Amino acid sequence: MKRNLSELEDTEFDIVVIGGGIFGACAAWDATLRGLRVALIERGDFCGGTSANSFKMVHGGVRYLQHADLYRLRYSCRERSALLRIAPHLVQPLPIVIPTYGHGTSGKAFLGIGLYLYDLLTLGRNRGISDDERKIPPTKFLSRKQVLELFPDLKQEGLTGGAMFSDGQMYNPTRLVLAFIQSAAAAGARVANYVEATGLTRSGERVTGVQARDTLSGDELSIRAKVVVNTAGPWAERFLGDAAGIPLESKGTYSRDACFVINRRFPGKEAVAVLGRTRDPDAVLSRPARHLFLVPWRDYTLVGVWHVVYERHPDEVTVTAEDLESFIDEINWAYPSLNLGLQDVRMWNAGLVPFGVNEPGATNLSYGKRSNLIDHRKSQGVDGLVTLIGIRYTTARADSARAIDIAVDKLGARLPRPDSANIPITGGDIPDFEKFVREITGKQQLGIGAEVMRALAHNYGTCVDQVLSLAEKTPELARTLGDSTVIKAEVLNAIEQEMAVTLSDIVFRRTDLATGGNPGDHVLRECADLAARELGWTEEQKEAQLQEVYRRFPSLGETIDEGTPA
């Protein structure tokens, strides 16, 4: 991928997508597969907002069983299966243990009936998945002894056993978004980061393009388009009202979803769900409270998720020290032996997603139900504009396809949906992931360790040779940065092939270097030196880039800004 803004101005596109998160990435990929001329622009870096700050779960819809919402349950399960098929290097099953205590809604019988019913409703969940390691197994019931073998420090009083079901987990959400964008670019889409949509061009009541600004140079540009698809997430409404002059009649409600990374790791691969202090007011049948999850991820544990209605600008999302302490207090209450403290927290994630309707000050909050898809011709009489405000990372592929269906109708074309649920995205044409890891590890002669090769396989899939070829030309690039699993060649690859233009792009969104916390000053400086040579930074510019990265690792107790990727 090359950042070529002149191409954006020199072409009239069928569709211009605003927003480079997961929904914009999927929309661009879907539209390109239909043979359309497509452009995608993102005001920051690709996957630099809410999509980067997810809990890294690919939900199969089990929670919707509590709401008796079978449509959403099956919809989510289908989309989880699609991601397991088309991105096997980046999405894998995640076993989750739910301990049970006593009887009734807290007991094993109640939980078991629900999970068995879920298994029956999702019998086709592994259709088309050839790799056994990527298949979602049926529910398994655990005795009290088995639960304690996995989590010996769980509260034992009243423990009757538990159940284990599986969902999906992303190895790296930002690389998954990038893979969709790379797929679209390889098929002909024009994509550019750091290009902000500042307005719309119109002819009467029809949108004819996007006014934009290169945020790196300040240059203004005009992009012609027959249809504009607005997928700017929590910024979408602001763009419509402040920049486009087409405010929505009713303002959406957003939740700040937050989780954190701790520097501990359970010995096994299983996650555990424990009951928190709030409940789901929309559930038809429910356990006594909502679950909090402790999830193994790489060498860390993810803890979350907490929700709060957030009414300020998306650029101002913060997590205060008071928030942090209250979250730690709740997880310690739910799992006392953890005894977490501020010193255990390595990094935060916080992003905005559409939420349900809640009374002011409500404790038990109602979740959002579906993505908001708007045809502005029907709602406001403005043609050539579609807005999709997505709600779940898992369903982005299918939700975006619905948005492109509307856009295609506006083009007056008959272009059926592509079978993107079965077309591997960039790097994902891997029938057997473990076999693939063994093969690439065995054939490389650079002395790269097995753990590093596995990380490369996850992040790049079948494109790993592109990275290794750089190291073959310059063996020094096969060395890792500090004790990380990131080799120096990845830094050059990010700049040369993946449109990384800042140090933050490299360490937070193209590589694993700082996705689990601060890797250390010497590691970041070594990375910055490599990037500076490639991008021509002066010493002052390099220091400014480093300071921007350090800003993502505030001292404990300070306000933590949204966008701190993990």
- Domains along the sequence of the chain with CATH: 5-50+174-251+370-411 (3.50.50.60), 63-170+253-354 (3.30.9.10), 433-552 (1.10.8.870)
Q: List, for residues 65-89, the tens digit of each pLDDT value.
A: 887 889 999 999 999 999 999 999 9
Contact 294/276 with Cβ under 8 angstroms? Answer: no
pLDDT value, residue 349: 87
As beta bridge partners, residue 347 has 261
| CB environment 97-115: b (16+ within 10 A), e (fewer) | bbbbbeeeebbbebbbebb
Q: Which of 49, 44, 22, 16 is nearest to 214 (CA)?
A: 44
CA–CA gap between residue 534 and residue 498 (Å, rounded) = 13
Q: Is 76 helix (H, G, I), strand (E, B) or coil?
A: helix
DSSP string for residues in 456-525: HHHHHGGGHHHHHHHHHHSGGGGSBSTTSS-BHHHHHHHHHHS---SHHIIIIIISSTTTTS---HHHHH
Contact 566/261 with Cβ under 8 angstroms? Answer: yes
Contact 265/421 with Cβ under 8 angstroms? Answer: no
Q: Is 331 left (phi over 0), alpha (psi -120 to 50) or beta?
A: alpha
pLDDT value, residue 559: 40
DSSP letter, residue 366: P
Q: List, for residues 3-36, the tens digit of each pLDDT value.
A: 999 999 999 999 999 999 999 999 999 999 999 9
**Cis peptide preceding 97, ω within 30 of 0:** no
| Token pair in block for residue 362 | 């409500």
Using the Cα atoms of residue 100, residue 104, residue 109 and residue 115 in order, give the sign of their dihedral: negative
Please provide residue 528's backbone torsions phi and psi, each rounded to the nearest 5 degrees.
-65, -35
Residue type at position 296: P
Q: Average pLDDT in the 396-412 region? A: 97
| CB environment 246-280: b (16+ within 10 A), e (fewer) | bebeeeebbbbbbbbbbeeeeeeebbbbbbbebbb
Most confident of 249-253, 289-293, 331-335: 331-335
Q: What are the C-alpha distances in Å from 63 to residues 196, 255, 288, 290, 515?
A: 36, 18, 14, 10, 28
Q: Decide if pLDDT at 493 tops 90.
A: yes
Q: Average pLDDT in the 446-467 region? A: 97
| Token pair in block for residue 367 | 């979740």
Assign 189 a pLDDT band (cuts: 50, 70, 90): very high
Assign 368 a pLDDT band (cuts: 50, 70, 90): low
Contact 350/317 with Cβ under 8 angstroms? Answer: yes
Q: Which of 424, 60, 34, 422 is nearest to 229 (CA)?
A: 34
pLDDT value, residue 251: 82
CA–CA gap between residue 531 and residue 526 (Å, rounded) = 9
Contact 317/562 with Cβ under 8 angstroms? Answer: yes
| Token pair in block for residue 481 | 């940065």
CA–CA gap between residue 35 and residue 32 (Å, rounded) = 5
Q: Which of 525, 426, 374 is nearest to 178 (CA)?
A: 426
Q: Average pLDDT in the 231-247 region? A: 93
DSSP letter, residue 125: T
Q: What are the C-alpha distances in Å from 227 to residues 150, 375, 383, 403?
A: 53, 11, 8, 11
Q: Which residues contact 502 (CB under 8 A, 6 or more apart)?
A: 45, 545, 548
Q: List, for residues 114-165, the tens digit of each pLDDT value.
A: 999 999 999 999 999 999 999 999 999 999 999 999 999 999 999 999 999 9
As beta bridge partners, residue 372 has 389
Report the Cα 516 to chain-centroid distance in Å: 14
Q: List, for residues 83-102, the tens digit of each pLDDT value.
A: 999 999 999 999 999 999 98
